[in-house]
Amino acid sequence: MVKKMRDLVKDKFDVRVIITVIYMTMVEFELFNFAQTVVNIAGNAAWISIILGTIFVSINTYILSKLALRFPDENFFEYCQRIWGKTLTRIIAVGYFLYWFSFISLLLESFSKANQTLFLHETPLIVPLILLILGAIWLVAYGMAPIIRFFQLMLLFVILPLLLLIILSIREIRWDSYLPILGNGIIPILKGALFYGGVFQGLEIILFITPFLNGRKKLIKMSLIGVNITSLMSLILATISIGILGVQGIKESIWPGMDTVGIIQLPGFLIERYELFLTMPWLIGIFTTICIFLYLLAYGIVQVFGCQFRKGIIFAVGVLAVAATYFCPNLAWLMKMRIGITYVTFVFGLFIPLLTLLVAVVKKQKGSEVNE
């Protein structure tokens, strides 16, 4: 991808890297949930909701890419100051910080609960949390370029096990689970599609990554490919889950992904239990998502408030996010909050960038031209 040695030295990436970044940012708990909430809303027609939701997400991606391309050498907070003014930018930024902070804390708490159930039944929850956040702090301290390289390195370890699971699970599908189509009418499907649109937390990374990219003319195309590949994987996993567990099974399950994989049987094959093939991509997905949000949060604070101690801020934010997990009373509350934050995503992932774009167009404000 990177053709020029100079770019390697200066840590510039080909625009195609956005596909990897979007996928690795989005993948986290969906791997265990397999779009459970969408199934809860839309029933066995959840796959239609996902397809419709993908159209919505694609439009969202287009808007974000357009805005990013208008100011290709700056990140969102930089050009926001010119568009909205300093005070308003600070208010918007604080909103983003709270949103990202809440998301990281919820993600850490979800991880901690899953980790206790799956791996470390008796270890105090704080131990794995600290180890995970220390890794994230370490990576984020080096900046965006190593984060992207980490994503690229891990991509293979996420994609390959998932592809294997998809192939193996096809023979377990009961095709009658998808019938009747549109049994509950069109409204649940549309509601499901709307919800699915909010699942793409972190899509705003497009607004912050552009200065690190070469060949930015292709940004829109590559971002759309990234979003659609992510959505395709989500569609396949949700469809398989419906086919294997059925709508009722998914509703009753805590982690439909794990239950779906647990059913896979392939006599004579080397492996008997396939949960490991899901837990590995899941752990990687959680870690990469935490890293990118921690980056956005810490570097955002440093940039907007002009803080000097970048590493100190990263560390403080990471530690605070872990501390915030102690305010979560139980799993039910956590689930509720996760669904709630999905709707908040529309504000920060769509409305604010859309408004910013509109104002920039009206005011005829733009950054440097994209020449590559």
Partner 1 sequence: MRNLLVSLKKIYKNLTKDTGMYSEVQREIDEQEVEVQGEYEEDSSQVLLVSPIPRDKQRQIRGTKLQFFERLDYNLGLIRERIPDKNLIFEKFVVGSRGKRVVVIAYLKDLAHPGIVKEVKQRIKQIKAETVLDSSYIERNIENSRLSPFPQLEHTLRPDMAELALFKGKVLILTAENPEVLMAPTTFFDLMDAPEDLFGRWFVAASFFRIARFIMFLLAATLPGFYIALTSYNPDLIPTKLAFLIASANEGTPFPIYFEAFLMMGVVEAVRMIMIRFPNEMGSTIALFAGVVLVIAGLHANIIGAPIVIIVTLTIITSFGIPSFDLRLSVRITQFFTMIMATVLGLFGYAIAFFYIAIHLVTLKSFGIPYMSPFAPIEGSGWGHDILREDIKAMPLDETYKASTKNLEKEKGEN
Reference 256, options 22, 38, 26, 27; nearest CA is 38
Q: Which residue has the tokens 């590493």?
A: 311
Q: Which is nearer to partner 1, 41 or 278 (CB)?
A: 278
Q: Which is nearer to partner 1, 139 or 235 (CB)?
A: 139
Residues near partner 1 (CB under 8 A): 1-6, 8-9, 13, 16-17, 20, 115, 119-120, 123, 127-128, 131-132, 135, 138-139, 142, 146, 148-150, 152-154, 270-273, 275-276, 279-280, 283-284, 287
Structure tokens that stand for 224 in this block: 């759309």
Least distance from partner 1 to the Cβ atom of residue 184, Å: 38
Least distance from partner 1 to the Cβ atom of residue 269, Å: 9
Q: Which is nearer to partner 1, 4 or 251 (CB)?
A: 4
Reference 272, options 281, 283, 280, 261; nearest CA is 261
Q: Which is nearer to partner 1, 9 or 362 (CB)?
A: 9
Least distance from partner 1 to the Cβ atom of residue 281, Å: 11
Q: Which is nearer to partner 1, 84 or 111 (CB)?
A: 111
Least distance from partner 1 to the Cβ atom of residue 61, Å: 21
Least distance from partner 1 to the Cβ atom of residue 282, Å: 10
Least distance from partner 1 to the Cβ atom of residue 280, Å: 7
Q: Which is nearer to partner 1, 123 or 248 (CB)?
A: 123
